[in-house]
Amino acid sequence: QSVLTQPPSVSEAPRQRVTIFCSGSDSNIGNNAVNWYQQLPGKAPKLLIYLDLLLASGVSGRFSGSKSGTSASLAISGLQSEDEADYYCAAWDDSLKGYVFGSGTKVTVL
Amino acid sequence: EKQVLESGGGLAQPGGSLRLSCAGSGFSFMYHAINWVRQAPGKGLEWVSIVSGDGTYIYYADSVMGRFAISRDVSKNTLFLHMSDLRAEDSALYYCVKGTNSGNYKGDYDYGMDVWGQGTTVTVSS
């Protein structure tokens, strides 16, 4: 049972937009920044977004992050086949004194 | 280029021990937090442990507290994860992950983890 809640999967057609939501609590998202990671099939994860909305180095501008209260979201616009991956949200948790991850969302490009 | 390379994974019996190593290049462990993150087969990511750049702060997930311990050799830019009393549920791919910042200050954690190794596999089975 992950501390942060994400939908298991989302799917959309090429060139469309998808949004992945991540829900937490005051001790994590409510009080700390959210980071997003992309894990392509068979690969190590990669940092996509940090400090809620800043793009990591080399990340396409088609990715964007936002946060409000204890929830955050990752949007992918202009969806491409190469975006098919698992996406994880994460945040520091002040009560647990460690990072907590979401359960991951699998993005499928139809 | 900043890289981390894990080693030391393998097969261990329940109740046994293993030591994982993480060697960093292109950056100094003195100025970056280093994390261990694991992923069981077909499952999601689980954070395991972190050590801050100055070594002052070390934190563990509840699931490994008292069984795993971090140590490091800053002169060799190498980190170790000492795993004991291993359980079947510890079986996973273990990633060593560089923190974007030092981890010496709470706000550093907001910058995430920016360099991931390829992982080393730990299997706990009799």
Contact B44 A100 (CB under 8 A): no
- Segment B87-96 shows an average pLDDT of 98
- Asked if A15 contacts A82 with a C-beta cutoff of 8 angstroms, the reply is no
* Nearest-by-Cβ selection for A44 from B44, B46, B118: B118
| pLDDT tens digits, one per residue of A45-100 | 999 999 999 999 999 999 999 999 999 999 999 999 999 999 999 999 999 999 99
| pLDDT tens digits, one per residue of B42-62 | 999 999 999 999 999 999 999
Question: For position B105, what pLDDT does the model report?
Answer: 85
- Segment B2-21 shows an average pLDDT of 98
- Asked if B35 contacts B102 with a C-beta cutoff of 8 angstroms, the reply is no
B11 — pLDDT class (breaks 50, 70, 90)? very high
- Segment A32-47 shows an average pLDDT of 98
- Kindly give, in sequence order, each residue whose CB lies less than 8 Å from that of residue A68, ignoring residues fewer than 6 positions away: none
Residue B120 has pLDDT above 90, yes or no: yes
Q: Burial, A96: exposed, middle or buried (Cβ in 10 Å; 0-12, 13-18, 19+)?
A: middle
Question: For position A108, what pLDDT does the model report?
Answer: 98
- Asked if A48 contacts A40 with a C-beta cutoff of 8 angstroms, the reply is no
Strand partners for A65:
A74
Answer whether A24 touches B (CB < 8 Å).
Answer: no
Question: For position B107, what pLDDT does the model report?
Answer: 86
Instruction: Report CA A32 to chain centroid distance, whole Å.
Output: 15
- Segment A25-53 shows an average pLDDT of 97
- Segment A23-44 shows an average pLDDT of 97
Q: How far apart are CA B122 and CA B126, in angstroms?
A: 13
- Asked if B29 contacts B72 with a C-beta cutoff of 8 angstroms, the reply is yes
B106 — pLDDT class (breaks 50, 70, 90)? confident
Contact A92 B106 (CB under 8 A): yes
Q: Which residues of B touch A86 (CB under 8 A)?
A: 44
* Nearest-by-Cβ selection for A101 from B46, B116, B119: B46
- Segment B80-107 shows an average pLDDT of 94
Residue B87 has pLDDT above 90, yes or no: yes
| Residue of B3, B34, B47, B48 for testing the chain A interface, max A β-carbons within 10 Å | B47
Q: Which residues of B touch A45 (CB under 8 A)?
A: 37, 45, 95, 116
Count of Cβ atoms closer than 10 Å to residue B82 Cβ: 13
Residue A105 has pLDDT above 90, yes or no: yes
- Segment A8-13 shows an average pLDDT of 97
Contact B110 A103 (CB under 8 A): no
| Residue of B3, B68, B110 for testing the chain A interface, max A β-carbons within 10 Å | B110
Distance to chain A for B13, nearest Cα, Å: 26
Question: For position A69, what pLDDT does the model report?
Answer: 97
